[in-house]
């Protein structure tokens, strides 16, 4: 990326020199995330000055550096913590203040190779590669790991009702993971197409909320809860749409002993009565990314066939990056795009 909203340019560089604790990864695939669009189109500043190679949803093969990792197929966590600081030591490495993010703090994954710290690489076992190509697995680095962390953090248990607001690129995995955890899952969205995909993937119930107000939605949710024979209280609500309307609805769905998890992001503000949390003895939590320590668990979900990914991923040659970003901005894709290097 050379400039805001301008076409990406192909640049040739010599391979970087490696220090101890670093690895050179030959990139298999790099997913296109909304965060990349924020940098490229919406004017969010990258930490590293431009020009910068974007991309933080990366899989590949280690081709140089740290011997322990040589020739291993890996997923590079989207957030690489330091492992030493107060937050890291408290098990909150995903918000480590010294964290490095590819395609933001340093040159990222829309490239043939990337230099990364090797400490938190996640190895991809061969049994996963029997099911999926390494490039498809790049989506684990962000689109799948983020909802995984929040579902753990919400303490979702088997038999709970999980309400997922927004079943797009991230939410569809959130809904599936909640299902794997044994919850009864209700998906809410304004896109019939996305709800249909959720249904086809075993989500218990869906509700198209287009044009409905919070009150009407809450009534419909209560009916669905009855039909599903789901618990009346203690709902685990996941706001993944990242919209003001979605957040407003999410807050209004809070009932006794509920936990509302905020996963989507918007700059918009909301007016709510926070005392509802007190009255309902409810919890409101946020979540940021996923700590690398959880990645092997996520890979295992894919490896054992519980979580399916191929139908939500579409690969493109990396040379088409300008076209793919433009189309993503115009919401032309329903699947997550993964760019595959087609230059050497």
Residue owning tokens 């938190």: 120
Residue owning tokens 């409810």: 282
Residue owning tokens 């697995």: 137
Stretch that binds Zn ion, among 46-54, 81-89, 121-129, 155-163 (CB under 5 A): 81-89
Specify the residue, 280 or 288, whose C-beta has the smaller distance to Zn ion.
Answer: 288
Q: What would the x/- binding string for Zn ion be over residues 184 to 203, using CB under 5 A?
A: --------------------
Cβ atoms 179, 148 nearer than 8 A: no
- The residue count for binding Zn ion (CB under 5 A) is 9
Specify the residue, 86 or 193, whose C-beta has the smaller distance to Zn ion.
Answer: 86
Q: Counting Cβ atoms within 10 Å, is residue 109 exposed (0-12), middle (13-18) or buried (19+)? A: buried
CB half-sphere exposure, 201, CA atoms < 13 A: 28
Min CB(96)–Zn ion separation in Å: 3
Q: Which parts of 134-173 interact with Zn ion (CB under 5 A)? A: 142
Kindly tell me which residue out of 23, 25, 62, 96 binds Zn ion, with binding defined by CB under 5 A.
Answer: 96
Q: What are phi and psi of 49, to 5 degrees?
A: -65, 155
Kindly tell me which residue out of 65, 81, 171, 289 binds Zn ion, with binding defined by CB under 5 A.
Answer: 81
Q: Which parts of 301-330 interact with Zn ion (CB under 5 A)? A: none
Min CB(299)–Zn ion separation in Å: 18
Specify the residue, 82 or 257, whose C-beta has the smaller distance to Zn ion.
Answer: 82
Those residues with Cβ within 8 angstroms of residue 102's Cβ, 6 or more apart along the chain or in another chain: 55, 56, 58, 76, 78, 80, 108, 109, 114, 116
Specify the residue, 23 or 140, whose C-beta has the smaller distance to Zn ion.
Answer: 140
Closest CA to 177 of 189, 167, 190: 167
Kindly tell me which residue out of 37, 61, 82, 95 binds Zn ion, with binding defined by CB under 5 A.
Answer: 82
Those residues with Cβ within 8 angstroms of residue 9's Cβ, 6 or more apart along the chain or in another chain: 2, 51
CA–CA distance, 160 with 176 (Å, rounded to integer): 14
Min CB(85)–Zn ion separation in Å: 3
Residue 81 has what DSSP assignment?
A: -
Specify the residue, 65 or 102, whose C-beta has the smaller distance to Zn ion.
Answer: 102
Min CB(139)–Zn ion separation in Å: 10
Min CB(190)–Zn ion separation in Å: 22
Stretch that binds Zn ion, among 28-36, 46-54, 200-208, 217-225 (CB under 5 A): 28-36
Those residues with Cβ within 8 angstroms of residue 49's Cβ, 6 or more apart along the chain or in another chain: none
Kindly tell me which residue out of 88, 151, 161, 186 binds Zn ion, with binding defined by CB under 5 A.
Answer: 88
Q: What would the x/- binding string for Zn ion be over residues 31 to 70, using CB under 5 A?
A: --x-x-----------------------------------
DSSP lists the bridge partners of residue 73 as: 61
Interaction site with Zn ion (CB under 5 A): 33, 35, 81-82, 85, 88, 96, 98, 142
């Amino acid at each position: 990326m050379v400039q805001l909203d301008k076409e990406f340019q192909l640049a040739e560089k010599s391979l970087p020199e490696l220090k101890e604790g670093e690895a050179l990864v030959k990139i298999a695939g790099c997913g296109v995330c909304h965060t990349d669009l924020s940098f490229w189109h919406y004017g969010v500043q990258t930490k590293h000055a431009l020009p910068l190679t974007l991309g933080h949803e990366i899989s590949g093969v280690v081709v140089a550096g740290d011997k322990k990792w040589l020739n291993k197929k890996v997923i590079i966590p989207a957030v690489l913590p330091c492992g030493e600081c107060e937050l890291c030591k408290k098990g909150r490495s995903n918000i480590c203040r010294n964290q490095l993010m590819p395609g933001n703090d340093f040159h990222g994954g829309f490239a043939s190779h990337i230099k990364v710290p090797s400490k938190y690489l996640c190895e991809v076992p061969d049994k996963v590669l029997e099911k999926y190509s390494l490039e498809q697995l790049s989506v684990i680095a962000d689109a799948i790991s983020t909802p995984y962390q929040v579902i753990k953090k919400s303490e979702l248990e088997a038999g709970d009702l999980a309400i997922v607001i927004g079943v797009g690129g991230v939410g569809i995995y959130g809904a599936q993971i909640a299902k794997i955890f044994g919850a009864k899952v209700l998906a809410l969205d304004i896109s019939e197409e996305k709800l249909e995909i959720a249904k086809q993937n075993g989500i218990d119930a869906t509700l198209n909320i287009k044009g409905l107000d919070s009150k009407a939605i809450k009534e419909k949710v209560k009916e669905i809860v009855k039909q599903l024979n789901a618990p009346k209280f203690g709902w685990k609500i996941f706001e993944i749409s990242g919209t003001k309307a979605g957040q407003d609805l999410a807050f209004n769905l809070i009932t006794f002993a509920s936990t509302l998890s905020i996963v989507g992001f918007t700059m918009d503000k909301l007016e709510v009565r926070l005392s509802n949390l007190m009255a309902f003895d409810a919890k409101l939590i946020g979540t940021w990314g996923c700590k690398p320590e959880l990645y092997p668990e996520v890979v295992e979900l894919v490896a054992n066939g519980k979580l399916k990914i191929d139908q939500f991923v579409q690969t493109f040659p990396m040379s088409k990056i300008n076209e793919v970003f433009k189309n993503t901005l115009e919401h032309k894709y329903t699947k997550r795009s993964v760019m595959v290097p087609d230059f050497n």
